[in-house]
């Protein structure tokens, strides 16, 4: 019998760990670690199962932790995949393409052309990276470059307001895993008013799961001093630390190409469910995400506009903090 199994049961009994946390009772170290880095060079995307895709190859831009085939062999990483959930490549895709501003550079592109996932009586669209079933990721930090297709500025002219176009999401217990106390922190694009607007902004919010598809927002913030730029490369830092209302932290900065760094969010608040007795890190992370509604997708489609984003120079760290 594994010695740690009875130890975990005793630990959870004493400290009231009533969920199915995979890390309950496990001692997580504080090692500062670069887990993975890529510029999407020498990378190949292939279909693995249904609407799941994988990336293979060794990125020649870097000399270490640059092998897609061994990314999820790190003991803190569960599995990596690109998740489209449903549909086919006429409706959505992920591809390695040329940088829209530099043909000598490769990037990862996500594209949605029509809603492809049925959700009850309506549909939605998704292309995202899933890094799921993780262990001991209590502090997560990533840097990445993001380019929003110039056509997406067309969203500023939409008659409708919207708050759902997700770019990053961090799950501290995911609601599809059967664990208790699901909780998430999400970054979206946000257009708060109907009609034509001058700018769209970043929004960050956290939700706890109440069951039966219902969520309750714990905190929310929209930064209206840093407008979202379309058709321009943005260097983005995202940092999240597991904790309660006093120790949890979410941070995000944006540096436009040839511009200055702007702190978009620096929030101290819950990054775990308020009822969680045995916080066990960010079990499921969607670090590169493109997820939105049928109405938004159809608005772009009807206007003949591209709903497309690009990612480059992605670096993933554990127990590393940004320079504030």
Window from 13-17, 105-109, 183-187 with minimum mean pLDDT: 13-17
- Region 144-163: what's the mean pLDDT? 98
258 vs 15: which has the higher pLDDT: 258
- Identify the domain containing residue 84 by its residue range: 33-318
Give the integer Cα–Cα distance in Å for 208 and 188.
17
Give the integer Cα–Cα distance in Å for 104 and 101.
9
Q: Is residue 290 part of a domain?
A: yes
Output the pLDDT for position 110. 98
Share of the chain above pLDDT 70, in %: 92
Q: Is residue 8 part of a domain?
A: no
Count Cβ atoms within 10 A of the Cβ of residue 58 and give its class: 0-12 exposed, 13-18 middle, 19 or more buried.
middle
277 vs 54: which has the higher pLDDT: 54
- Region 212-236: what's the mean pLDDT? 97
Output the pLDDT for position 18. 41
Indicate the pTM of the whole model.
Answer: 0.92
- Region 119-146: what's the mean pLDDT? 96
Q: Is residue 323 part of a domain?
A: no
Query: Of the candidates 202, 246, 204, which has an alpha carbon nearest to the alpha carbon of residue 225?
Result: 202
Output the pLDDT for position 22. 56
- Region 65-79: what's the mean pLDDT? 95
Helices (H), 176-315: 294-302
- Region 130-156: what's the mean pLDDT? 97
pLDDT digits (tens, 9 = 90+) for 241-255: 999 999 999 999 999
- Region 225-237: what's the mean pLDDT? 98
- Region 151-160: what's the mean pLDDT? 98
Output the pLDDT for position 79. 96
Output the pLDDT for position 274. 97
CATH code of the domain in which 231 resides: 2.60.120.200
Q: Is residue 68 part of a domain?
A: yes
The structural domain count of the chain equals 1
The 3-state DSSP class for residue 306 equals coil
Question: Would the pLDDT of 194 be above 50?
Answer: yes
Question: Would the pLDDT of 165 be above 90?
Answer: yes
Q: Is residue 126 part of a domain?
A: yes
- Number of Cβ within 10 Å of residue 102's Cβ equals 11
Q: Is residue 212 part of a domain?
A: yes
H or E element at residue 314? strand 308-318
Q: Is residue 88 part of a domain?
A: yes
pLDDT digits (tens, 9 = 90+) for 4-63: 334 433 434 334 344 455 566 678 899 999 999 999 999 999 999 999 999 999 999 999
Q: Is residue 113 part of a domain?
A: yes
């Amino acid at each position: 019998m594994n010695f740690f199994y009875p130890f975990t049961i005793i630990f959870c009994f004493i400290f009231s760990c009533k969920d199915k946390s995979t890390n309950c009772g496990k001692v997580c170290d504080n090692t500062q670690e670069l887990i993975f880095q890529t510029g999407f060079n020498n990378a190949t995307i292939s279909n693995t199962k249904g609407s799941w895709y994988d990336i293979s190859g060794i990125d020649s831009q870097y000399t270490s932790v640059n092998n897609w085939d061994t990314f999820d062999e790190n003991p803190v990483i569960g599995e990596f995949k690109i998740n489209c959930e449903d549909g086919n490549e006429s409706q959505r895709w992920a591809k390695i393409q040329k940088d829209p501003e530099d043909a000598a550079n490769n990037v990862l592109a996500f594209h949605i052309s029509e809603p492809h996932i049925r959700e009850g009586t309506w549909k939605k669209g998704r292309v995202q990276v899933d890094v799921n079933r993780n262990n001991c990721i209590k502090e997560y930090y990533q840097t990445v470059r993001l380019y929003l297709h110039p056509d997406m500025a067309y969203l500023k002219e939409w008659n409708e307001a919207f708050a759902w176009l997700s770019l990053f999401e961090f799950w501290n217990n995911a609601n599809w895993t059967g664990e208790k106390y699901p909780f998430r922190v999400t970054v979206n694009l946000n257009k708060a008013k109907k009609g034509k607007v001058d700018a769209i902004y970043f929004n960050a919010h956290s939700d706890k799961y109440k069951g039966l598809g219902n969520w309750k927002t714990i905190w929310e913030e929209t930064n209206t001093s840093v407008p979202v730029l379309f058709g321009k490369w943005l260097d983005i830092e995202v940092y999240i630390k597991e904790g309660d209302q006093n120790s949890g932290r979410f941070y995000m900065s944006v540096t436009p190409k040839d511009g200055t760094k702007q702190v978009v969010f620096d929030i101290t608040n819950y990054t775990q469910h308020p009822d969680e007795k045995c916080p066990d890190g960010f079990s499921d992370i969607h670090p590169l995400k493109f997820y939105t509604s049928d109405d938004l997708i159809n608005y772009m489609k009807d206007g003949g506009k591209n709903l497309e984003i690009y990612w480059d120079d992605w670096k993933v760290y554990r127990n590393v903090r940004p320079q504030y």
